[in-house]
Amino acid sequence: MFRPSTREGKEARRRVDSSYSSDKHRRGAFRWTLRRLLLFCLVGTLASLAWISRSGGALVAEELHVVAMLRIPAGSLTKKEFFDQYGNQTVIIEGGLRHHPATKLGLEGLREICAGSSIETFVYDPTSNLWGGHVDEKVMPFEEYIDKYVLNETNTERRYFPGGDPGIPILCPALELFAPIPNYVSIGMQELNHSGKGESSEGRFHPLVGYQPELFVGPGGTKTEMHMDNNPSPFWMSLYFGKKMFRTISYEDSVKHMPYYVAGESVRFSKTFYIQKTGKYEKKYLEIWNPDLEAFPELKKVTVWEGTVNAGDWIYLPPATLHGVYNPEPFWGLSSTDIYPPLLDKYIDVCVDTDYMGRCEDVLLEAGGKQCNPKQFSQREALKVCIKETPYAHFIQKEYKEHKDGDRYVHELAGYDSFRPWCEAICEANKKYSNICGACKTSARQV
């Protein structure tokens, strides 16, 4: 048996040890790389799952540019400061409603106050071209809706009451005493094309607007798909129970990359594709909560602002903001679309630039007391001057400048000092709604 010399043996062992050390180093580097790769995959998976949860169960492609909405604490600004800083930006005001009695009502208290009224309810259909994708309208008593579709945990039909006409002045006028209008948006121009318009001997206007603020109620799992309101004015929504997730796209982004909403009369947008495999045409609707970026690549070019409004918060959206809403749990809230003095110019600009989309022309006619027909003005600046000089616009601008900061009741916005005279005027102007007059008499005992 051959045995190497001592020197040869040492050299051989040295070569073996060197080879072993090199192999050990490579194996260590491989294990380190593998651990990093597994960690990267785990982080990616968790991020995807979190995104699915926030998106209402839809996995959204990375190309969708989603940015968190700005959030500010309530009471940190004056009205003027708010509009100077955030008039053109979607923003959530945290805790702005916590002092309102409505935050303690829950769904049961809301049911009691609004009992006796009837509402129009809908379900969401991803293939519908109607506003927000809502179909299958059913009219029912408010208390039946709350009991059967919202409080009933075994219910699987996601039936939604997404606001609309009439609003709380007709549905349940007493609710305005529980839920005043938030401070920053408590003075604005309302549409006056409803009965009850008038001017008192003291020079105060009394717009008896029966459709605003609107009431929104629904169970978890309901949603309204991306749309632009038929009246492209700014609006706010206050939330008193539950949560609402918003996704918005600014007017500036949408008019540049998604101009079809401007002429869409608030319906959902769709595209038709020829499917070669089936030899048939297929229509696809834009969905912001489950976007098809191959069908709608323009979504990659815009910024999608996302934020969750919690009970006690409210949200502000600038004029003509595209928005979609997902409700992860049972909720209720209020919303209104007024034109605030600092944004009158912006509203007129939007209307002129879009050739008076939606109800722009009607709203401006009423805001100007029918003295300023938009289609008769070739220069927008002349239209702005005309409207601002009309009695109603001048009154609102003066009130905005002189009013101290603070929430206001709906009856105050309508020019009344107390609830009952306003409620009785609403009742007189809307006699077909029998529930109103009774509420006028019992409201003081309810609060």
Tens digits of residue pLDDT in 296-311: 999 999 999 999 999 9
Cα–Cα–Cα angle for 374, 377, 381, rounded to 5 degrees: 95
* Residue 352 backbone class (left: φ over 0; alpha: ψ -120 to 50; beta: rest): alpha
Q: How many residues does the chain have?
A: 447
Q: For residue 434, count other CB atoms closer than 10 A to its CB.
A: 11
Q: 55 falls in which pLDDT band (50, 70, 90)?
A: very low
CATH number of 55-446: 2.60.120.650
Global pTM exceeds 0.85: no
The amino acid occupying position 384 is K
Report CA-CA distances (Å) from 418 to 114, 232, 401, 421. 20, 31, 22, 6
Q: For residue range 159-216, list pLDDT tens digits in order.
A: 999 987 789 999 999 999 999 999 999 999 887 644 444 455 456 777 878 888 999 9
| Structure confidence at residue 31 (pLDDT) | 60
pLDDT above 90 covers what percent of the chain? Answer: 50
| Structure confidence at residue 140 (pLDDT) | 94
What the block records as the tokens of 246 is: 């918003």
Q: 228 falls in which pLDDT band (50, 70, 90)?
A: confident
Mean pLDDT across the stretch 362-376?
A: 86
The answer to whether 426 touches 413, Cβ cutoff 8 Å, is no
